Chain A
Amino acid sequence: MYQCRPLALAGVRLYSTKAAHTKQAIDRIIRVDHAGELGADRIYAGQMAVLGKTSVGPVIQHMWDQEKEHKAKFEELVPKYRVRPTVLLPIWNVAGFVLGAGTALLGREAAMACTVAVESVITDHYNSQLRELINLGEEENKELIEVIKKFRDDEMDHHDTGLANDAEQAPAYTALSNVIKTGCKAAVWLSERI
C-alpha cells in the first residue's frame, strides 16, 4: 500500500516518513475521488441527454445535482491539499458521457443498472478509503473523513434509488453490471496512479 521511496531526498524535504506516507495516501485518495466525481457527473449528463425528457428524468436530475456538489467539493480540495489531478481527466470526461448515453439508449432500466453498478463500486471504494484514513489518524484527517463519509452516504442513496427504479429489469442485467463494475475498478486503479 505505501511506496517506500526515500521522499526526503527528492523534491522537497518532509520532516518525517509518517508525514510522507500520509501525504502520498491523501494525494491518491483525492486524485481518484476527484476523477470519480467528474466521471459520475459526465455519466449522468449522458443519461440526461437521452432520458432527460422522460418520466425518469427528474430522478436522474436529482442524482446529477448531488454529483455536481460532490465534484465542486473535490475541485476545492485538489488545490487545498496540493494534489496533482489525474492526467486521464480528458479521457474520463468522454468515457463517462459515452457510458451514460450508451446505457440510456438501451433503455431506462439499463441506465438505472449502470447507476447501480457504478455506485456499488464507488461505495466500496469510499469505505476502504475511510478505513485507510482512520488508520492514518482520525484526528488529523477529520475534514477529509467527514467529507468522504457524507459522499459515501449519498452514493449509497443513489444505489438504492437505482434499484428502486427497476434496475434489475434491465436486459442482461448481470453481464451489464459486471462489465461496468470491472471498467470502474480499472478506472479507479489507473486514476490512483496516473
Chain B
Amino acid sequence: MGGVWRQVIPFGLPSLLATRLGYARLLQTSSLHGIAEEGTSGPETSSSLDQEGSDLETDGEQQLKEEILQASLPFVHTHGWSQDAIAQGAETLGYSSMVHGMFPGGGVDLVNYFYGQCNSKLDGSLKAAIKAAEENQELRKGTTTFIAAAVEERLRMNIEYHDSWHWALALHASPSNMPKALHNIGTLMDTIWYHAGDRSYDFNWYTKRGILAAVYKSTELCMLQDKSEDFQDTWAFMNRRLSDVHSVGKCVQEGASFLGGAGNLVKAGILTALNMAGMNSKSRF
C-alpha cells in the first residue's frame, strides 16, 4: 500500500504545484482587469498590513453575509426566523442553499441582522429629526415626548414581522443568544437617549438606559398580543409606563430634598447641643 503512494506522490506534487502556479498566473492575467492584485504579491512582512489584509477579507465576508440575510428577510413570513429562510434567500441570490452553514446561529443571525438594521434606521431618522428641530424651533419636542416618539417609531418597524415576532423574541431569550440580544437593546437605548439629549458620564448613564429598556421591553411584549386598531392600546400602555417613570423620578427628587431638609434640621440640633455644652469651639484644635 505504501509503495503505491510513494509512486503517486512524485506525480502528485508537481501537478499540485502546477495548479497552484496556474492559479497564480490566472490571477495575474485577471489583474489586467484590476481584480485580485493581492493574490500575486509576496508574503506581507508588516503586521499592520496583515491586519489590514485580514480586515478586508472579513469586510468582504461581512458584506456577503449581509447580502444573504437581506435577501432572506422576505422569506420570514413563510419560513419564520430559521435556517430555511436563510437558505431560500441564498438561493434567490444564486448561491447554494448550503450557504446557511455560514450562519452557525441559524435563525438568530437573521433576527440580529434585522434588529441592527432597524437600529441604524432609527439612528438616521432621529438624527434627521434633531436637525429639523434645530432649523425650525416649532418642531422641538420635550424629552419624554421625543422618547415616546422614538420608541413608537422603532416598534412600528417590527409590525412588518408581527406574526413571527414572538419567535424572534424566543430566540433572543435563549441563554446562548442573550449577550447579543442585550447588546442590541443596549445600543438601541443608547441611540434613543443620546438623541434625546442625554450627555451623562456617571452612573446615571446606566439608570436612564435601564429604565427605558424596561419600558421598551414591556411595550414590545404588550404589542405581541395587541389586536387594536393601529396598535393604539400599545401606545397607550407605553405612555402610561413613561408617566410612571416620570412620577417615580419626581418622587425620588422630592424624597431627596426632604432628606436634605431633615439633615439640616438634625445638624442644627447637634450644633445647638454642642454650643450648650460648650464644646463647639474651633480653637480647641
Residues of A within 8 A of B (CB): 6, 8-13, 16-18, 21, 34, 74-75, 78-79, 82, 84-85, 87, 89-90, 135
Contact = CB atoms under 8 A, between A and B. Distances in A.
B183 A11 contact: yes
Contact of A89 (B184, B198, B203): B203
Interface stretch (B115-123, B156-164, B236-244): B115-123
A90 B119 contact: no
A6 B183 CA distance: 12
Given A11-B183, A11-B187, A82-B190, A17 B66 contact: no
A17 B55 contact: yes
B117 A11 contact: no
Interface in B3-32: none
Interface stretch (B57-65, B245-253, B255-263): B57-65
A16 B55 contact: yes
Q: Which secondary structure characterizes the binding site on chain A?
A: helix
A23 B21 CA distance: 40
A13 B117 contact: yes
Given A10-B187, A17-B55, A18-B55, 4 more contacts: A11-B184, A74-B201, A75-B201, A79-B194
Interface of B: 48, 52, 55, 58-59, 62, 65-66, 109, 112-113, 115-117, 119-120, 123, 180, 183-184, 186-188, 190-191, 194, 198-203, 205-206
A89 B188 CA distance: 23
B116 A90 contact: no
Q: What are the 6 closest A-B residue pairs judged by CB atoms, nearest first?
A: A11-B187, A78-B201, A79-B199, A17-B58, A8-B62, A17-B55
B201 A12 contact: no
A8 B66 contact: yes
A84 B200 CA distance: 10
Contact of A18 (B52, B113, B186, B191): B52
Contacts of A13: 66, 116-117, 120
Contacts of B48: 135
B201 A34 contact: yes
Contacts of B55: 16-18, 21
B183 A10 contact: yes
B62 A12 contact: no
Nearest to A9: B112
A34 B202 CA distance: 10
A85 B184 CA distance: 18
Given A17-B59, A79-B199, A11 B186 contact: yes
Contact of B202 (A12, A82, A89): A89
A140 B146 CA distance: 33
Contacts of A89: 202-203
A34 B203 CA distance: 13
B66 to A, nearest CB: 7
Nearest to A4: B58
B206 A87 contact: yes
A124 B77 CA distance: 56
Contacts of B180: 9-10
B112 A10 contact: yes
Contact of B123 (A12, A78, A90): A12
Output the residue of B120, B186, B201 with the most chain A CB within 10 A: B201
Nearest to B180: A10
A83 to B, nearest CB: 8
A131 to B, nearest CB: 13
A90 B206 CA distance: 12
Contacts of A9: 62, 65, 109, 112-113, 116, 180
B62 A6 contact: yes
A84 B184 CA distance: 14
Contacts of A84: 190, 205
